[in-house]
Amino acid sequence: MTIDFKGRVAIVTGAGGGLGREHALALAARGAKVLVNDLGGARDGSGGSATAAEAVVAEIRAAGGEAIANGASVTDFAAVQAMVQQAVAAWGRVDILVNNAGILRDKSFAKMELADFELVVDVHLMGAVNCTKAVWALMNEQKYGRIVMTTSSSGLYGNFGQSNYGAAKMALVGLMQTLALEGAKNDIRVNCLAPTAATRMTEGLMPEAVLAALKPEAVVPAMLVLAAQDAPTRTILLAGAGTFEAAHITMTQGVWLGNDAQTPERLAERLAEVTDRTGDQVPQSGSAQGSNEVTKAMENLARK
């Protein structure tokens, strides 16, 4: 089976360099028409220039592909709506959205200014929300859509100095969970990609030999699978240095303790049982938690 994107239209945000550039080039190489979005700002989000996006468009065109550039900030919903209209005006539809744009403002939480927390959340979370909202009605109407959110191990598992980034990245997983449910009836599949890659965002953080192994292009196969016609949905793929993993948000079987004056003490005593992962499950929706709790309660109360 060959994954191809002939006849498909893709928007990739933050595609002027690093991982986004590799995403855009790979989609174009496999037949997609690509809108290359990049504000062209610095790693911390300051400044802006359309030059980076235009350079990637030139690369795609030189290789025989079709692409257009866009310099919108993903934080500006009106500009994002215009970006989607630009793609529709050029090619009539939007099939794929790769939410990749991001910035870093790393500091320990104690030293972090709230403005830096808010800006990172605005770019990563609200930027993805803006772009997704701008294509959502279109994808519902055409009964087809593939959306890839860029999450991170910093959100899934934590990383010192990245409370803002981690919070935003984990929020994208929550966004994916619900949008995948809401989009299912119209074949809109929504997934998350957690990349480990040496880019402008990570330079200076790792030794040279490690950076060499973590080429951005090694992450791209996971994006292509998540954006393909046969893509899964509600899947979190992790990728780096040629290795691919999946992350799951699981729920343990739990223990019914009832609810009386001694319940806090009993919970403390049996916490190891409550957190025991034997037989844990990946709930298909949030209602699974309530179902598990009520079922256990009814079973135990029936025994009394």
Instruction: Copy the structure tokens of residue 170.
Output: 């984990």
Q: Cβ neighbours of residue 212 under 8 Å, at least 6 residues apart?
A: 198
Cβ-defined contacts of 152-157 (< 8 Å, 24+): 152/194, 152/195, 153/194, 153/196, 153/238, 155/194, 156/194, 156/236, 156/247
Residue entry with tokens 């034997």:
278
What string of DSSP letters covers 66-82?
-EEEE---TT-HHHHHH
CB 109 within 8 A of CB 82: no
| Residue 106 to residue 115: CA distance in whole angstroms | 12
165 part of the active site: yes
Q: What angle do CA 45, 197, 223 make, to 5 degrees?
A: 95
Task: Quote the longest CA-to-CA distance of the chain.
Answer: 75
Catalytic residue (one of 124, 128, 165, 166): 165
3-state secondary structure of 239: strand
Phi, psi of 67 (to 5 degrees): -155, 155
Instruction: Point out the residues that are catalytic.
Output: 165
